[in-house]
Structure 1
């Protein structure tokens, strides 16, 4: 009798591999009007790790990230979350399965207080939905959990401040709190330190380390110092394809990666 391995399609993961991988992209391709922005990308994010997706401008990392986060539908290939094919699922269905993303531009309600922002996110998790007309009494049971999340990200002292009044770094911390409110198993962070001054980068980096405990994190990040501090494994894209993968030391010593970032001439 033929074994499963003998009939598995090329690139397929074994059962042992799948149990170790929280998020997998197989042969991911996205074509826009004849232009392939991402071409046959294979990416595996190990459970419990922090994995970075990096590359020079135009490398295809944002498109690849949007495929993995279900913002875009792949032209070809498939995406597995905990071994389940989610390639054609809606974003909302995938979020309920524990795959939750943040955005490069802070997605918060500027005129709500910090606490109210987190409470709105909790309403979805606790089945009350985004019903802004519900009385404060009806959503009061969520306050304790909201305050716990604010303490976890270090902005509990700002609970009653309008979100618009926060510094940029604290807005990012608030967005991470709203992401945590959805109880993610896999968090996808889009440029978490983009636009930050040096004084904000270290606190956010430490925050990501803390909230990553017990979770899997995939991030797109342009700041290589942050990547070297945070990440267990790195995938480098160039021209929509995987150029290199490995630890920070491995990819930073790869001459192809150096040339891609320093403007080496492609042959």
Structure 2
């Protein structure tokens, strides 16, 4: 299969902490246009892999390639500019600002004035249409003037996704997007992820297997920092070693 089909690839990715390998020899390939889920029991190394991909951690060994370009030593901000965006990377919600103001701040990068809080309100009003379109995309139009800090948890995560989308990601990384949510919020966010995945690639860490089965084209199962299995959910979920890994340690 041609490497151009893959937006993100890792080769032998490893992370060692004082003799303990949190991630060992992970070779991952995320195909363009897929929703690819990274799953596994507690302590499997999922979040460590995400932190390595987005440069919050430095690999002990291995390489990371984005659209065929090696980014192993590229900084987090440069990776975001290339179109690889992790939801909370840009979207630390500003709790005392309105939803509209939060999304406008995320859009400022296009003006070359990123995070210049002293810009006049008039100069930022040009971004209102784009900001409103993003709020509409995540189902938050009616809350546009609400203070972000007052949002229920599920809608706050939707705002984070809107802010990440403001960066026009080609690869959107979502770290446990439905964690801590009510059933109603899970349904809403699952639907949202399905909609925003059009024309972009999504890599997500997710504990909720019903969300994974509904959304994912491909899943990679980690156990003790290594890849245990990979493929379509329907196939992988029936593998005895995968069932054993989950039943042995729980889904946490």
- Tell me which stretches of 4 or more aligned residues in structure 1 moved more than 3 Å: none
- Residues 112-150 of structure 1: per-residue CA shift (max 9 Å, x gap): 000000011001233111011111011111111000100
Q: 2 CA distance for matches of 1:135 and 1:174?
A: 23
| Contact 2:88–2:164, Cα closer than 8 Å, also in 1 | no
Q: TM-score, normalised by structure 1?
A: 0.91
Q: Cα offset for 1:183?
A: 0.5
Residue aligning to 2:224: 239
Residue aligning to 2:192: 207
Q: 2 CA distance for matches of 1:137 and 1:225?
A: 45
SS of residue in 1 equivalent to 2:127: helix
- Residues 7-53 of structure 1: per-residue CA shift (max 9 Å, x gap): xxxxxxxxx52210001111000011121110000100000000000
Aligned length: 248
- CA-based RMSD: 1.3
Residue aligning to 1:216: 201
SS of residue in 2 equivalent to 1:129: coil
Q: 2 CA distance for matches of 1:227 and 1:126?
A: 37
Q: 2 CA distance for matches of 1:88 and 1:188?
A: 19
Q: 2 CA distance for matches of 1:178 and 1:235?
A: 27
Mapping 1:90-239, distance limit 5 Å: 90-103=75-88, 107-239=92-224
Q: Cα offset for 1:103?
A: 3.6
Any unmatched runs of 5+ in structure 1? 1-15
Q: 1 CA distance for matches of 2:127 and 2:228?
A: 46
SS of residue in 1 equivalent to 2:108: helix
Larger Rg, first or second structure (1 or 2): 1
Any unmatched runs of 5+ in structure 2? none
